[in-house]
Chains A and B, each alone.
Chain A
Amino acid sequence: MPHAHSAAGGPGPGESGTAPGAGKTVLEHAEISRMLTRIAHEIIERTQGAEQVVLLGIPTRGVPLAARLAAGIEQVEGRAVPHGSLDITMYRDDLRLRPARALGRTQVPPDGIDGRLVVLVDDVLYSGRTVRAALDALNDLGRPRAVQLAVLVDRGHRELPIRPDYVGKNLPTSQQEQVRVLLTEVDGEDAVLLRVAR
């Protein structure tokens, strides 16, 4: 299911069913990999070696991103970085606006998150509501020492006081536009698309 962040339907997964390729390509595979490599380095730098770091991706596309970042950090540090997924469906603030949705998977690394530095990973940062829900979800799993946020694309239009710590690309958009991130693991190709919602 393609992941679209549109103004019309509010934040979060929606607008499914459009064929990949619709819209203007903003980022391609090579740029996406370079950005993820850079973010991996930034995480290592900011956390002095990423020792206590746990990467948690937000389904759907945050999860493969977290895995790629973990692999990137491992390449530099030579040490495996725990990573997993954090489903936020049950914590959303817009549940009652739509029919009940399918749940994603929450998979926390075996050592848990207590006392760790959790880096939340998502594909697009928009209203910030997903991240708020993720903070609530995290609260029920344990008590991290600190929480940081890494996103591939920051498209602006925040509705909550939330800011990312690591950004692949700042992409100025209007609310009429949709940003779609495609990843090989889910969609068969890497790309970031921008298109005007009709």
Chain B
Amino acid sequence: MNRHLISAADLTREDALRVLDTADELARISDRPIKKLPTLRGRTVVNLFFEDSTRTRISFEAAAKRLSADVINFSAKGSSVGKGESLKDTALTLEAMGADAVVIRHSASGAPHRLAEWVRGSVINAGDGAHEHPTQALLDAFTIRRRFGRSSGGEPGAAAGGKPGGGLDGLRVTIVGDILHSRVARSNVLLLHRLGAEVLLVAPPTLLPVAVDAWPCSIGYDLDAALPKSDVVMMLRIQQERMNAAYFPSVREYSRRYGLDAARMAQLPERAIVMHPGPMNRGIEIAAGVADSPRSTVVEQVANGVSVRMDVLYLLLGGAEAGQ
């Protein structure tokens, strides 16, 4: 693996499978009474959050703490960023404090990439603008793999970790909604495609990015046609805070055409699952009844997020530094 995790495209299929297999083992730690490993003792992980976040920040914090790392939380509110400090100066401050890893969320696409040039530690992208959110894609892939029984398993004694898990070959994943503003969609398309899934994006034409035809996926506009052929439906949040123009006539109309309600869920094949990266706008892109149904993996995704992030921290920080 590389020293940083900036984009889901940084991971080869082998890398990604290894991450998922390791996460399978780490997920078992969450079932133990003592949910702690000494692996990253004495190492410092900085959570650098320039944008609001509940799930991702807490998830990274829990992951780092379970590996015994020291965690420093930084949020732009109440920091010197308010006084006009630049990203570079913030980075140099972190560098001087000896951060071994920086988990960054920023509203500007490419901020983690820039940061990686300034700090010696590992940089983990926790969401940059409308660009990427690779750990979300990993945890989504992990959740899909578990639900479809392709995780690593087997009897102890067969090999070190039982038999390694498989890819997502042949699974059809439909990602629905605000693709334009979604970093989750981009990272998922890249990663799921690499793991062998067929990805279909369904959105109003106004909510598709310009160069989407270059992505390794197909595109549709009709949700009802896509549902019966989907193994996984991933609903995306309408990101009203990023919308500075009228992308659709009204929320109600959007919801009617692209929202997932109980009637639409009934069109799904029997074993299909419904995913949402959160936070959900209940009643807009997903009906409350669907979000709370047994098919929904929303809560599972959060739990899996901690395992996957532990795993990323372990793989980036746990071993010898690259080049040694």
Contacts and interface: CB of A to CB of B under 8 A. Distances in A.
Contacts of A106: 25, 28
Interface residues of A, number: 32
B160 A102 contact: yes
Nearest to B322: A99
Contact of B25 (A84, A95, A100, A103): A103
Interface in B299-324: 314-316, 318-320, 322
A30 interface: no
A53 interface: no
A37 to B, nearest CB: 19
Contacts of B39: 90-91, 95
The number of chain B residues touching the other chain, given as a range, is 20 to 34
Contacts, number: 81
B36 A140 contact: yes
Interface in A95-123: 95-107
| Interface majority SS (helix, strand, loop, mixed), chain B | loop
A2 interface: no
B159 interface: yes
A185 B158 CA distance: 6
Contacts of A185: 157-158
B162 interface: yes
Nearest to A64: B157
B160 A100 contact: no
A82 to B, nearest CB: 12
Interface string A120-163: 00000000000000001000111000000000000000000000
A140 B156 contact: no
Contacts of B110: none
Given A90-B39, A141-B32, A99 B161 contact: no
Interface of B: 1, 18, 21-22, 25-26, 28, 32-34, 36-39, 67, 156-162, 314-316, 318-320, 322
Interface of A: 1, 57, 59-60, 63-64, 66-67, 84-85, 87, 90-91, 95-107, 136, 140-142, 185-186
